Amino acid sequence: MIVVMKAGASQQQIDHVIERIEQLGLRSHVIVGTERTVVAAVGEKRDGAKQALETAAGVEQVVPILAPYKIASIEVKKERTIVEAQRLKVGGGHIGVIAGPCSVESREQILEVAHVVKAAGAEGLRGGAFKPRTSPYSFQGLKEKGLELLAEARAATGLAVVTEVMAPEQVKLVARYADVLQVGARNMQNYPLLEAVGEAGRPVLLKRGASATMDEFLLAAEYILNTGNTQVMLCERGIRTFEDHTRYTLPLASVPYLHQKTHLPVVIDPSHGTGKASLVAPMAVAAVAVKADGLIVEIHPDPEKAWSDGYQSLTPAAFQQMMAECCRVAEAVGLKM
Ligand code: PEP
Ligand code: MN
């Protein structure tokens, strides 16, 4: 339910509503809007809860939340969520660009890429230190050493570090180095992990599972939001279909669809979404045209020699070109980059 407070309701009245919600065995999430405050009451449905809250002082109305996800729903919060970390800003009319290698490989590699990313005007540096690989025999990441190198690249450039965390027990370590915790597609429904990244108090980039529906995706985000962490970005990275000309199928309709259903910013990953370097820039440009809030792109100084995902990684020059094209389209659709 959403408890809509009257315009000008006092803090005391809001506190009383929160207390009543908790007495009813529900959780409260306060959203302070420009005009009025709303308090979302989430949890198992309780008989009589609506009536109990309707009679509290300062309450204008109590309305049910129709979507299965609650705090993520646009019904609860009309104003768009903006996610910020270091110089990275995603949402609210600003397209945040995160770029970097699939995996952190060496000090030279990550520092070189970080300078390319910054020079091209992007604000976030990606790079996996803990890698979820399909085969156990593939490179698994430099682990803590990779995190240290990412932190060094941040110190040199001011870019926000975005890196994946694969297990709840790794969250503390990764959060010590990262500005944004990435939950990968394979872990979208790892509920203990979602709760752990929520509690880490860092912004989260949640990737859509390759076979997840939109409701499942939003309910996964709900797990993070339910910990009280409001800084969640949804990342469309492509889904599994019958099609095999691309690695995954990248549904760009996810952007306007999610914008209709949630206040959370939507980031597009054209690298995993296509799996082909030649398709990355066109899809990045298209993502900007449909008003994505952010992009996450794999780049490598020498894609042929990359330890993972080289075939979908852009060269520095191709990335600069992609950024220039995206900027032109962003301006045309009224967004900043
Ligand atoms: C990645 O970002 O390198 C990655 C493994 O992505 P995904 O979880 O979308 O497959
Ligand atoms: Mn990758």
What's the CA gap between 153 and 248, in Å, rounded?
A: 30
If you measure from the C-alpha of residue 272 to the centroid of ligand 1, how many angstroms do you get, rounded to a whole number?
7
Residue nearest to atom 6 of ligand 1 (CA): 184
Which residues lie closer than 8 Å to 213 by C-beta, 6 or more apart? none
Q: Residue 313 carries which DSSP code?
A: P
Under a CB-based contact definition with an 8 Å cutoff, are residues 182 and 165 in contact? yes
Confidence of residue 44 (pLDDT cuts 50, 70, 90): confident
What are 186-234's pLDDT values in tens digits?
999 999 999 999 999 999 999 999 999 999 999 999 999 999 999 999 9
- DSSP of 172-214: HHHHHH-SEEEE-GGGTT-HHHHHHHHHTTS-EEEEPPTT--H
Confidence of residue 322 (pLDDT cuts 50, 70, 90): very high
Mutate to test the pocket of ligand 1, among 135, 139, 164 (most ligand atoms within 8 A of CB): 164
What are 52-85's pLDDT values in tens digits?
999 999 999 999 999 999 999 999 999 999 999 9
Under a CB-based contact definition with an 8 Å cutoff, are residues 143 and 151 in contact? no
If you measure from the C-alpha of residue 280 to the centroid of ligand 2, how many angstroms do you get, rounded to a whole number?
13
Closest Cα partner for 90 from 274, 289, 291?
291
| Sign (positive or negative) of CA dihedral 285, 287, 288, 293 | negative
Residue 251 has pLDDT above 90, yes or no: yes
pTM of the model: 0.96
237 CB near ligand 1 (under 6 Å)? yes
184 CB near ligand 1 (under 6 Å)? yes
What are 72-122's pLDDT values in tens digits?
999 999 999 999 999 999 999 999 999 999 999 999 999 999 999 999 999
What's the CA gap between 116 and 168, in Å, rounded?
A: 32
Classified as helix, coil or strand, 20 is helix
- DSSP of 234-267: EEE--B--S--SSSSB--TTHHHHHHHHBSS-EE
- 314-329 b/e (C-beta count within 10 Å ≥ 16 → b): bbbebbbebbeebbeb
